[in-house]
Chain A
Amino acid sequence: MITIVLSVLFLAAFLVLVLKRDIIAISAIIFSFIFFLLAYFSPDIMMFAFSGWSPPFGIVWVLDKLGLFMAIMITGIMSLTAVYSVKYVKERKHRYYTLICLLTIGLIGISLTGDIFNMYVFFELMSVASYALVAFLLNKESTEAALKYLITGSLSSSFLLVGIAMLYGLTGTLNMADMALKISGGPVFMIVLGLILGGLSLKSAIVPFHFWLPDVHPAAPSPVSALLSSVIIGSGVYMTIRIIFTVFGIMSIFWMLIILGLITMVVGGLMAIMQKDVKRLLAYSTVSQVGYIFIAIGMGTPAGVTAGLFHLFNNILLKCLLFLSFGIILWHTGTRDLNKLGGLGKRMPWVAFCFGIGALGTAGIPPLNGFASKWLIYLATWEVSPIITSIAIIVSAITLAYYLKVFSCIFMGPSTFKIVKKTPKTMLIPIIILAIICIIIGILPQIGMMFVEPATNVLLEQGQYINAVLGVG
């Protein structure tokens, strides 16, 4: 079954250029979204061994609840952004859509493989596609930002490759489940884990390596920066979680992760207040949200992991909503500077509504989904140590502060711009869909939990994953 989806996706990427049609890419992504949604509700863990070789020798894709959960998020966000960017990208549209389709293949590959080197290849595919997409506008700012992103990104993925080479040296296999059996958790594996996490922390924007995000976001076209901060960072976080829990099977409270998460949260929050450029502000808020996720995951307790995954789920939705709605404002006014914008609320009620939902959601206001996950995080961290919870609450207050500032600057106040063009339909529909989803999950968090619960016990029961993969082999 998955072969059909895969071949459709790969073919779409190659044929969009040959046949000069954009619809192929969009329909392929939407088709794979529907497939992953259906595949999610099949009971057992589906396994697919490529070209028939059993797991330790060939590559195997494991469609467990966590991987499919990420795949649904990825294809959903990609299809919405693809629809959004129909009007946004005016010139060279076919090349843009091929790159978007290749980016989807990379992201799906990361979330579903059961083989570490295959994950590295798709991680590299995702990075190369995003380097080209960031430099797409070819103006002064975006080339410089793309270069900075490229050099740091490829340096970090080389560190990831060093980690994988060492894992092969120590365990002799490349299959994640097979490797999990052979890893004994000795000091050597801590070093290898440190290296791999060092490589991955850049792509998931943890503090010492978060500097590329605020430079890249203003330079990239809005749909790309929406993807960048929601899905690419999300897949970086997913890879870290997958490697820590499934491969290394570390269940104990991971103090290093908690400390990193705390610093990321605080630094992201503080830096965001001082920003003048709206996109840099949103980028720093992504950094602080990632800090939240890592605090919860670092807990190691089932409650902590559920809270972290739920916050990852919400963060992807909210960040994409924020960036896409700000993209429309940018499309109209053309400036990103806070003090130049003003008084757009009356002219663009829908955009104001969606941006408001996104802003209040990330800040964690009760009716919206951000609050549900943050509340779980507070509960999870409360058991371990109340200091962390208090810091988390302070930072979410700071997030509320700078989001209110942004909201009031853009939408209230004297209107400086007269809006000439009418916002095209294809740009409005994705935001409204996202806003509705955020509200629904906010009011009924059980829906979100229904997705997140099975994903966490996939993570926690490492044994179930191993005998599912190797049991067949």
Chain B
Amino acid sequence: MIMIELYLTSGLMMMLGVYCVAMKPNLIKKIIGLAIFTDAIHLLLITIGSRENGIPPIITPENVNTFSQFSVDPVPQALVLTSIVISLSITALALCIAIIAYRHFKTLDTEKMSDLRG
């Protein structure tokens, strides 16, 4: 079943993302780790909706009648569209706050930040 590899890769990406967020002191790396984690979930969502030799869920004049047997499940794709926008807005906000934090602390290292907070 092709999907086992995809589930494994999405699991590995999730582990990578959480490791990166938990262990890396640098702030930008944490934000990148978050982005990796959310992309892993998008991969997971798409593999849930996948199907053997399925075709993309666009009805074109040719495949109108054979569409319903082969089409991939469209619902997770709609969920992924929404969650991509949400992860974009979180990353944009995180970067903006990181810029302001850098202006205050002159460093992006979260350990130093918490002792500098004073």
Asked if A and B touch directly (CB within 8 angstroms), the answer is yes
- Count residues of B near A (Cβ-Cβ below 8 Å): 36
Q: Do A158 and B105 touch across chains, with their CB atoms under 8 A apart?
A: no
- Main SS at interface, chain B: helix
Q: What is the bound-complex CA distance between A229 and B45, given in angstroms?
A: 33
Q: 1/0 per position for B80-118, CB-CB distance to A under 8 A?
A: 001100110110011001101100110000100110111
Out of A135, A148, A150, A162, name the residue touching B90 (CB < 8 Å): A150
For A149, give the chain B residue with the smallest CB separation.
B97
Asked if A174 lies at the interface with its beta carbon under 8 angstroms from chain B, I say yes
Out of A117, A151, A158, A169, name the residue touching B30 (CB < 8 Å): A151
Asked if A277 lies at the interface with its beta carbon under 8 angstroms from chain B, I say no
Q: What is the bound-complex CA distance between A143 and B98, given in angstroms?
A: 8
Report B1-23 residues with CB < 8 Å from chain A CB.
14, 18, 21
Q: What is the bound-complex CA distance between A135 and B95, given in angstroms?
A: 13
Contacts A121-B82, A144-B114, A147-B27 known; A165 to B48 CB distance under 8 Å? yes
Contacts A140-B105, A158-B38 known; A128 to B93 CB distance under 8 Å? yes
Q: Do A165 and B45 touch across chains, with their CB atoms under 8 A apart?
A: yes
Output the least CB separation between B33 and chain A (Å).
9
Asked if A132 lies at the interface with its beta carbon under 8 angstroms from chain B, I say yes
Q: 1/0 per position for A113-135, CB-CB distance to B under 8 A?
A: 00001000100100010011001
Q: What is the bound-complex CA distance between A124 and B93, given in angstroms?
A: 13
Asked if B72 lies at the interface with its beta carbon under 8 angstroms from chain A, I say no
Output the least CB separation between B54 and chain A (Å).
16
Q: Do B113 and A124 touch across chains, with their CB atoms under 8 A apart?
A: no
Output the least CB separation between A466 and chain B (Å).
21
* Set of chain B residues within 8 Å of A162, measured between Cβ atoms: 14, 41, 44
Output the least CB separation between B20 and chain A (Å).
11
Q: 1/0 per position for A18-55, CB-CB distance to B under 8 A?
A: 00000000000000000000000000000000000000
Q: Do B21 and A155 touch across chains, with their CB atoms under 8 A apart?
A: yes
* Set of chain B residues within 8 Å of A151, measured between Cβ atoms: 21, 30-31, 34, 94
Among A128, A132, A151, chain B packs the most CB atoms within 10 A around the CB of A151
Q: What is the bound-complex CA distance between A154 and B44, given in angstroms?
A: 18
Q: Do A169 and B104 touch across chains, with their CB atoms under 8 A apart?
A: no
Q: Do B48 and A168 touch across chains, with their CB atoms under 8 A apart?
A: yes
Q: Do A147 and B97 touch across chains, with their CB atoms under 8 A apart?
A: yes
Out of A132, A144, A154, A165, name the residue touching B34 (CB < 8 Å): A154
Q: What is the bound-complex CA distance between A154 and B21, given in angstroms?
A: 11
Q: What is the bound-complex CA distance between A174 and B45, given in angstroms?
A: 13
Q: What is the bound-complex CA distance between A139 and B117, given in angstroms?
A: 10
Q: What is the bound-complex CA distance between A146 and B90, given in angstroms?
A: 12
* Set of chain B residues within 8 Å of A132, measured between Cβ atoms: 93
Asked if A337 lies at the interface with its beta carbon under 8 angstroms from chain B, I say no
A-B contact pairs, 25 of them (CB 8 A): A117-B82, A124-B90, A128-B86, A128-B89, A128-B93, A135-B97, A138-B100, A141-B117, A143-B100, A144-B104, A144-B105, A144-B114, A148-B110, A150-B93, A151-B21, A151-B30, A155-B21, A155-B34, A158-B34, A158-B37, A161-B41, A162-B41, A165-B48, A168-B48, A168-B79
A-side residues, CB < 8 A to B, are 117, 121, 124, 128, 131-132, 135, 138-141, 143-144, 146-148, 150-151, 154-155, 158, 161-162, 165, 168-169, 174
